[in-house]
Homo-oligomer: A and B are copies of this chain.
Amino acid sequence: MFQTITIVAPGLLGASLAIAASEKSVAKDISIWARRPEAVESLLQQPWCTRASTDLDEACRGSELIVLCAPVNRIITLAEEISKFAIGNPIVTDVGSVKADIVHRCEAALVGRAHFIGSHPMAGSEKTGMENACGDLFEQRVCFVTPSDKSNPEALAKTNAFWEAIGSLVVQETPDRHDEIVAQVSHLPHLLASSLATFLATRCPTAADYCGNGLRDTTRVASGSPELWHEIVDQNRPEVLRALRDFQDHLQSLTAAIANQSDFELLKQLADGKQFRDQL
């Protein structure tokens, strides 16, 4: 499918992607950039790594597809660095969990040098690091691909084909719609669970004595890393705020139905909620 691809930063996602690309023969050569020389040493021992370097230019040389697997706050800087040496219009994509800002800034940085197409594979694990990488991390998982109106159609088609070959289910959305969707289906539920937990911590600190599975399920994700979720909220702040505010209005309509003893409205909301949940 590709002669050479480059993976930038071999963390859990990057290394898993290299393993999957190797296992599925998505690329003949897999080049990997790592920050530390020890990581390069270690990578060169791996059967799924053709070459490795701490020099970004060298690691990207001759690549048709460069996948930026660094943390979100590093992706734009990496694209700017790549713009200094890129030749032959390679495709550059990423794995960041928010898209609008990244897509617009990476496109601007790479214009005329490379084709940027944003990606967000919904894959991960509590574990991190190359040592936990595995080739089936992306198998049957959704991967958002987020073209803009400036995207090169051929680069977009090749990016989609890459993720499909890796085993992902590609969902194509605009960067803005992507950020709205993840705010609604992921960031909002997390913040609600966390807020319910902090509410009960003050109102009913003995809740553990008489809590059932309902409360355990509803608040489960509140156990996630505060630092990680702070970072996610920070990156998608406008959409997270919009989802929170829209939800607050929606919750107010339920509260009003209960306050006004609108039995029909309350029953309808409960039935609509059940119908939606039953199909998840």
Q: Is the CB of A209 within 8 A of B171?
A: yes
Does A217 lie within 8 Å of B220, measured CB to CB?
Answer: yes
Provide the A202-228 mask, 1 if CB < 8 A to any CB of B, else 0.
011001111110111111111111110
- CB neighbours of A245 from chain B (8 A): 255
Contact call B192/A218, Cβ cutoff below 8 A: yes
Q: Are A218's CB and B193's CB within 8 A? A: yes
Distance in angstroms from A264 CB to nearest chain B CB is 10
Which B residues touch A225, using CB under 8 A?
Answer: 274
Closest partner residue, chain B, to A251 (CB atom): B195
Q: Per DSSP, are chain A's interface residues mostly helix, strand or loop, or mixed?
A: helix
Specify which chain B residues have a CB less than 8 angstroms from the CB of A234 in the assembled complex: 263
Q: A209-B171, A219-B189 in contact; A226/B278 too (CB < 8 A)?
A: no
With contact pairs A185-B210, A258-B237, A273-B198 given, residues A280 and B229 touching in the complex (Cβ less than 8 Å): no
Interface positions of A from 179 to 208, Cβ below 8 Å from B? 181, 184-186, 188-201, 203-204, 207-208
Please indicate which of the listed interface residues A199, A226, A266, A279 has the most CB atoms of chain B within 10 Å of its own CB.
A199
Contact A251:B248 (CB < 8 A) given known A217-B221, A230-B263: yes
